[in-house]
Structure 1
Amino acid sequence: MHEEPDFFILGKAYITGRVVNAAIGISGEKIVSLTSPGNIPPSARRREYGDGFLVVPGMVDIHVHMREPGLEYKEDWRTGSMAAVKGGVTFVADMPNNKPPANNCNILREKLERAKRKSIVDYAFYAGFNIRPEELSKCKDLYIGGKIYPEDLYSPIVEEFARLIASQNKILVVHAEDPILLKPDAKILHSIARPPEAEKSAVKKTLELALQTGARTHITHISLADSIIEILKAKLAGHPVTLDTAPHYFLLNDSLYTTSRKNIAKVNPPLRSEKDRQTLYIAVNKMLVDAIVTDHAPHLLEEKLGEDPPSGFPGLEVALHLLLREILEGRMPIQVLDLYSFRPASLLGINKGCISIGCDADLVVLRKESWEIRPDEFVSKAKYSPFEGAVLRTKTHAVFLRGRTVYEEGEFYEDVRGKFYPLEAPTSYETLQDR
């Protein structure tokens, strides 16, 4: 690229695995230059951030539930995207379990129209499982991948669906739990109602599906040490499979199900044993997972406090800062940020999650500041969190979306609108890793 920058962002920045003093040059929506602050002209337009600030790429969350259309009372594209921005996230990939499900062209088009009007982050959609997969061929530009839920994984049509997604060079995302092994009993602990055996069985089935169809298969929100091991074995054998996990699986354990937070902490798959938590923590620490996601799954607080609460909780506003706490306190390397930015962007084939020439100018300015997680202060409609009371050490100070200020010092700039991202070009994860 040879464009002259319109303006620069100056300060300490996380670039290609390390923190350096940098002047990040932006032209239009892209990063067009990287140099040291002393090399830019004195007259150049700039935003300068001194001590106590760090510039990182915008985070990329490839597993969220914005709930719209159909469940807007839980969340909508406006509140959900504001939660993302406040948490330093500039791109989200939205799941299809709307009401009705986004497994056909009409609902996907409706979702796109709603997101265009409301979202202040960039976005993409997954298409839900359809027993007539060929129907989705009519609108393949509307989704970035396909999603399989537990009840879909054992359908006689699942191979046909997987082959369709593979033929379009899109990613197949699987929630791996065997529905036959689930025990729907509200009176027993959630981690017993959805036992480890359910995930292990479904992971095995998913690996077989990937081998049989050649679909680039991504197993999401892994909660077990055994699952990590099996998937890593498959990867070493050359199978087209990747995985992610979420902060709650490597920072929390199932002891919460014996406390007053048992409803709040209910999630699928459930929180697991301390041994599993420790193993997942090590896997994240050693960069053995391909991505971190939040599985941002908002409900109203009154729903979560009921006798049979729905599963899931919000995560967009705190995930990055939970990771930064672990980094700043010396328990994780700073490169873990790649698992929530560049690595997931690479999985989807989008040019985000990185501070390098040619990447979208999605930048997050963090400042050092201690604060306590108080869910009643969330911008999400979901005012609860299993992390309530945790003390974090960084806050989101400013966010730039493709070069435009979308958030600064607590104020949202809602004239900025997110952009829809279909899969940009056929590519491979390995190729993108080499960028």
Structure 2
Amino acid sequence: MLITNAHIINEEHETAADILIKNGRIEKIAKQISAPAGTVVYDAKGQWLLPGLIDDQVHFREPGLTHKGDLYTESRAAVAGGVTTYFDMPNNKPAITTRALLAEKYAAAQGRSFANYAFYFGAANDNLEEIAALQRDEACALKVFMGASTGNMLVDDPKVLEGIFRRCPLMVVTHCEDTPTIKLNEEAARAKYGEDVPAWEHPNIRSVEACYKSTELAVSLAKKHGTQLHVLHLTTARELAFFTAGPMAGKQITVEACVHHLAMDARDYAALGNLIKCNPAIKTPEDRKALLRAVMQDRIDIIATDHAPHTAEEKAQSYFKAPSGLPLVQHSLLMLIDLVKKGELNMRTVVHKACHAPADRFGVKDRGYVREGYWADLVLVDPHGQTHVHPSNILYKCGWSPLEGRTLPARIVATWVNGELAYENGTVHPQPRGQRVRFV
């Protein structure tokens, strides 16, 4: 395929060029390319052509929670949103805390994922030897829940944490919230409200102090043991003090923000309630502004989603029963473009943080950039179009979005995965083309 008349946004530059795709990879990028015989020509019409997004934090719910989502349905929604690669979390049922279960999960994904995929290995209090035996290409990283989690995945034994940070051969990726602090805050909320706690109390329960205390521990352990550490979904201005501004290259400790923490704040609980209940919580307008500044300062290195679907019925329950998490992967790029159009981000930064930086930090092989020789994972965006979010066009298995009723100021025109059109003008192509991601 030859893509013509593209406005390419890539590696801090914007260029008008054509792209020739052959055998799934980008063979040539040039101002004008003549189509070889038999080549399909796709006219980009001057619209934005970006590398496909690499979402380093999703919960696609397979195995064990597939009434909420699965690798097929959620990856289908991902390519409709321009996400061409995802890293799925291990808090499944059963939790992915053995290498045998990790291999089973990869086998289940083969031939069923529309986007490229890699999986995390999960840390527990009792699997340190399995962690130490991990191989570089076996998982994208090790996930450590240093805060409340489901099942066996809360690592709260100090000796085990020390062992993980000392012995893990892969990068350690952490969810940082302090469980004892959260439990005390829950007790206080129950004393005040009973079981009918309002959703706007969530950032007070999952408090700044709970986040700060846990992040402080993770950073101190990484510094003590020289561990490569990536802290997920930062939510507070206070925590930013732990992280260094500047280029990501050479950093031992990196951090990400998620689209909902950049786009929403505590005022949104009034309208959306438990629909935006997530861990860590969406916090104050001042925290949101601090996160956006930190993205522009290169203090925050990566942008992801933490896509985490639940059924509408589950979300409609009272505060303590409603699960945390919200579905975002179909609309994350459009949400970021909305921030660009509001003047809070710029498009080159979005591409860097959501495409290039995840590839670099995790060592993804031949993806994350528009480069000759790389896999043709691409997304074409109409920056002058609009996308109205409505139940009729939501592809998540759960069938809802916290953005319902909103009109986002751009449109995903097409997505290519491994050189094949995976999505075009509202239609996902029926054949899943995703491949297992390889790492260098």
Q: Measure the CA separation in 1 of the matches of 2:422 and 2:42.
A: 17
AA paired with 2:57?
H
AA matched with 1:206? A
The answer to whether structure 1 residue 288 and structure 2 residue 299 are counterparts is yes
Distance 1:51 1:330 in 2: 25
Deviates more, 1:134-143 or 1:359-368: 134-143
Out of 276, 279, 286, the position equivalent to 2:287 is: 276
Instruction: Please identify, of 41-50 and 59-68, the stretch whose mean Cα deviation from structure 2 is larger.
Output: 41-50
1:79 matches 2:82 = no
* Alignment RMSD (CA, Å): 2.2
- Number of the residue aligned with 1:163: 166
Q: Distance in 2 between matches of 1:139 and 1:324?
A: 38
CA positional deviation for 1:325: 2.0
Amino acid at match of 1:93: F
The residue number in structure 2 matching 1:305 is: 316
1:153–1:24 distance in 2 versus 1, CA, 3 Å:
farther
Task: Choose which of 339, 344, 368 in structure 1 pairs with 2:353.
Answer: 339
8 A contact 2:243–2:299 mirrored in 1: no
Q: Does 1:88 align with 2:82?
A: yes
Give the letter for the 1:341 counterpart. C
Instruction: Measure the CA separation in 2 of the matches of 1:293 and 1:303.
Output: 24
CA deviation digits over 1:217-248, x for unaligned, max 9? 00000000111222227999x86100000111
Matches within 5 A, 1:105-116: 105-116=99-110
Partner in structure 1 of residue 437 of structure 2: 421
Please tell me whether the aligned partners of residues 251 and 281 of structure 1 are also in contact (alpha carbons under 8 angstroms): no
2:420 to 397, 401, 404: 404
Residues 1:286 and 1:383: Cα distance change in structure 2 (over 3 Å) = farther
Identify the residue that residue 403 of structure 2 maps to in structure 1. 387
1:348 is matched by which residue type in structure 2? Answer: F
Provide the residue aligned with 1:358 in structure 2: 373
In the alignment, which residue of structure 2 is the partner of 1:178? 178
CA contact (8 A) 2:178 2:214 kept: yes
Q: CA deviation at 1:153?
A: 5.2
CA shift for structure 1 position 142: 2.8
Q: State which of 261, 285, 297 in structure 1 corresponds to 2:272.
A: 261
Q: Is 1:143 equivalent to 2:143 in the alignment?
A: no
Q: CA deviation at 1:406?
A: 1.3
Q: Which residue number in structure 2 is paired with residue 325 of structure 1?
A: 338
Which runs of 5 or more structure 1 residues have no equivalent in the other structure? 1-5, 426-435
**Secondary structure at the residue paired with 1:156?**
helix
* Equivalent residue in structure 2 for 1:213, among 225, 234, 237: 225
1:221–1:244 CA contact under 8 A, matched in 2: yes
Q: Distance in 2 between matches of 1:125 and 1:116?
A: 13
- Equivalences, count: 413
Matching residue of 2:112:
118
Give 3-state SS (helix, strand or coil) of 1:134's partner: helix
Instruction: Look up the match of 1:349.
Output: 363
SS class of match (1:366): strand
Equivalent pair of 2:391/2:400 in contact (CA under 8 Å)? yes
Paired position in structure 2 for 1:432: none
Inter-partner Cα distance in structure 1 for 2:213 and 2:347: 34
CA drift at 1:268: 0.4
Q: Please, which moves more after superposition, 243-252 or 17-26?
A: 17-26
Q: CA deviation at 1:276?
A: 0.6
Say which of 206, 210, 219 aligns to 1:194: 206
Q: Which moved more, 1:359-368 or 1:66-75?
A: 359-368
- What is the SS of the residue equivalent to 1:242? strand
Checking the alignment, whether the CA contact within 8 Å between 2:176 and 2:231 is kept in structure 1 is: yes
Separation in 2, partners of 1:319, 1:241:
25
Alpha-carbon distance change, 375 to 243 in structure 1, aligned in 2, over 3 angstroms? farther
Q: Which amino acid is the alignment partner of residue 312 of structure 1?
A: G
- Return the alpha-carbon distance in structure 1 between the equivalents of residues 42 and 220 of structure 2: 52
Distance 2:37 2:204 in 1: 64
Task: Go from structure 1 to structure 2 and tell me whether the alpha carbon gap of 1:283 and 1:376 turns closer, same or farther (over 3 Å shift).
Answer: farther
Partner Cα separation in structure 2 for residue 50 and residue 22 of structure 1: 10
Q: CA deviation at 1:77?
A: 0.6
CA distance in 1, matches of 2:205, 2:247: 30
Q: 1:101 to 1:42 in 2, by over 3 A?
A: closer
Tell me, in whole angstroms, the C-alpha distance in 2 between the residues paired with 1:396 and 1:267: 26
The reply to whether residue 372 of structure 1 matches residue 388 of structure 2 is: yes
Distance in 1, Cα, partners of 2:85 & 2:370: 15
Aligned equivalents of 1:148 and 1:45: distance in 2? 47
The partner residue of 2:260 within 248, 266, 271 is: 248
Q: Is the contact made by 1:10 and 1:46 (CA closer than 8 Å) also made in structure 2? A: no
Native 8 Å contact 2:57 2:89 kept in 1? yes
Offset at 1:404?
1.1
Identify if the C-alpha distance between structure 1 residues 345 and 239 changes in structure 2 by more than 3 Å, giving closer, same or farther: closer
Contact 1:11 1:53 in 2 (8 A): yes
**Pair 1:27 & 2:22 matched:** yes
Percent of matched pairs sharing the same residue:
29
Q: Which residue does the alignment assign to 1:430? A: none
1:348 Cα offset (Å): 1.0
In structure 1, the residue matched to 2:151 is none
* Partner SS for 2:402: coil
- How far the C-alpha of 1:41 sits from its partner, in A, is 5.2
- Contact 2:26/2:371 (8 A) holds in 1: yes
| TM-score under structure 2 length normalisation | 0.88
Which stretch has the larger CA shift, 412-421 or 265-274? Answer: 412-421
Gaps of 5+ in 2: 148-153
Q: Once the 2 structures are TM-superposed, how far is the Cα of residue 262 of structure 1 from its aligned partner?
A: 1.2
8 A Cα contact 1:376 1:384, kept in partner:
no
